[in-house]
Amino acid sequence: MMIALLAIHVLAAAFWLGSTLLLVGVVTPALAAAGPDVAQHFAPQLFQRVPRALGVAGATTILSGLWLYWIVSGGFNSGFARSTGGGLIGIGALCGIAAVFTGIITGRLQERGRAFAVASAALLVCALTLMIVGSRV
């Protein structure tokens, strides 16, 4: 059960983070460089499909993460949150939850939301790092 949940969590998180990095670092700069003709046709499609896909990945990551947290902390036991590993995983979880909000703002602002997309990418990198370190200390 725990392994299946962890696999779902890691796959969804990989899709969420990987897609965010690709969008921020490659797709949107390429779109800007391609000029207004291409952007006019491609941007509406992009901003219609991307929030849906990232929303599903984000929700799956958060829900499976909360379930995993419930398992490893013995039912949200506060002693786990005070341990080094539990504390790091908890801060990582807060970064992941914050990335949901910056992601929603990005979707609302569309082309003008680049700063929030960059913030989402940074928060997700922090979450990933804290999850990996926290589950090993």
Interface residue list for ligand HEM (CB under 6 A)? 9-10, 13, 16-17, 61-62, 65-66, 68-69, 72, 89, 92-93, 96-97, 124, 127-128, 131-132, 135
Q: What's the DSSP call for residue 73?
A: T
CB 20 within 8 A of CB 124: yes
Kindly report the three-state secondary structure assignment for every residue of 20-52. HHHHHHHHHHHHHHHCHHHHHHHHHHHHHHHHH
Closer CB to ligand HEM, 21 or 39, in the complex = 21
Rounded to a whole number of angstroms, the minimum distance from the CB of residue 79 to ligand HEM is 14
Closer CB to ligand HEM, 48 or 77, in the complex = 77
Closer CB to ligand HEM, 38 or 81, in the complex = 81
Angle value at C-alpha 134, between 132 and 137, nearest 5 degrees: 110
Rounded to a whole number of angstroms, the minimum distance from the CB of residue 88 to ligand HEM is 10
Rounded to a whole number of angstroms, the minimum distance from the CB of residue 45 to ligand HEM is 26
Position closest to ligand HEM via CB? 65
Furthest-apart CA atoms within the chain: distance in Å? 57
Which of these, 77, 79, 101, 87, lies nearest to 131 by C-alpha position?
87
Closer CB to ligand HEM, 17 or 24, in the complex = 17
Rounded to a whole number of angstroms, the minimum distance from the CB of residue 32 to ligand HEM is 26
Which of these, 8, 115, 19, lies nearest to 62 by C-alpha position?
8
For tokens 């969590």, what's the residue? Answer: 9
Closer CB to ligand HEM, 43 or 91, in the complex = 91
